[in-house]
Structures are given as structure tokens and as C-alpha cells.
A = this chain, B = another copy of it.
């Protein structure tokens, strides 16, 4: 049984296909459609549509209220510099890494296989250390990989 979160996530993503870079939804309406609590929608948005994932959310309450989901199409270069210099600090969680990697993949900065490789490299299995150190190590590994991507030149893979 596929959890609702996944269905809601892909439903929203399908709304964003067709070249739209943003959609407005009504929280209650969506919740009714999926027969779930409205806060479930909030949960999905806050776990799957964060800036790390490449989205921003705006909303308005009251009559005629809405939630607007905006997909950011990043210019790879500047976004990479931001990720390397600002976003990754001295430590980063597995979840946050995954979000960042997915976002790069969605924006075609990296291929599916490269994304897979990167997720493996920052996985908890790869980093076999006390929890307290894992996130610090992860930051180093992710940063090194992003630097490699940033340094790629015109030369294409075959």
C-alpha cells in the first residue's frame, strides 16, 4: 500500500508538468480529493517541496486563500556555488543531502546514475561512524562532489 504522501507528491508534480513553473491549489480541496486531513497537505509540502528540493511555497489564508507551489529552475552555476559555500555547513543530514541531490537531478545538472552514486556516497552505510560525526563527514563528501560538478568543463560524457 503506497502511502498517501507519495500520491499527493506525484499529483502535485504532475500539475507542475506542462511547463508551468507554478500552481495554486486549495488545501482543503486537495485534502478532500485525497480524503485526508488538511494538515496532511501541509506535511507533504513541508517534507517534499522545500527550497532544497527546488521549490518555494507561498500561501494566503482567509476567504479565497490558496497555496502556491513555485518550482525554481536554477541556473546550475550559481546554484552550485550557493550550495557549496552557503548551504552545506560543517554538517548536513542524510535527508538534506538527498533533497539537494534530487534537485540537481531534476534540473538535469546530473544524470540519474550520478545521483545514485552521490546518494550512496553520503549514505549512512558509507559513513560508518558514530552518529555525532556522520553529518560532519557527509558535509565533506557532498561538498567535494559538488566541487567536482562545478569544475566540469565543456567536455561531454559519451
A126 CB → nearest B CB, Å: 3
A43 CB → nearest B CB, Å: 12
**Once the chains bind, are A2 and B64 in contact (CB under 8 Å)?**
yes
Question: If the complex has contacts A3-B62, A3-B63, A6-B64, are A120 and B140 also in contact, measured as CB distance less than 8 A?
Answer: no
**Once the chains bind, are B148 and A117 in contact (CB under 8 Å)?**
yes
Total A residues in contact with B, Cβ cutoff 8 Å: 38
**Once the chains bind, are A141 and B127 in contact (CB under 8 Å)?**
yes
Question: If the complex has contacts A137-B127, A137-B129, A144-B126, are A113 and B112 also in contact, measured as CB distance less than 8 A?
Answer: no
One complex includes copies of this chain to the number of 2
Looking at chain A's contact residues, is the secondary structure mostly helix, strand, loop, or mixed? helix
Give the interface segment out of A10-18, A71-79, A150-158.
Answer: A150-158
Q: Which of A1, A6, A121, A143 has the most CB of B within 10 A?
A: A121
Q: Which of A1, A62, A127, A141 has the most CB of B within 10 A?
A: A141
Bound-complex Cα distance A118 to B118 (A): 8
Interchain residue pairs with CB less than 8 A apart (17): A3-B64, A111-B158, A112-B155, A113-B152, A113-B157, A114-B114, A114-B157, A117-B121, A117-B148, A117-B149, A120-B147, A123-B144, A127-B140, A127-B141, A128-B136, A129-B137, A137-B137
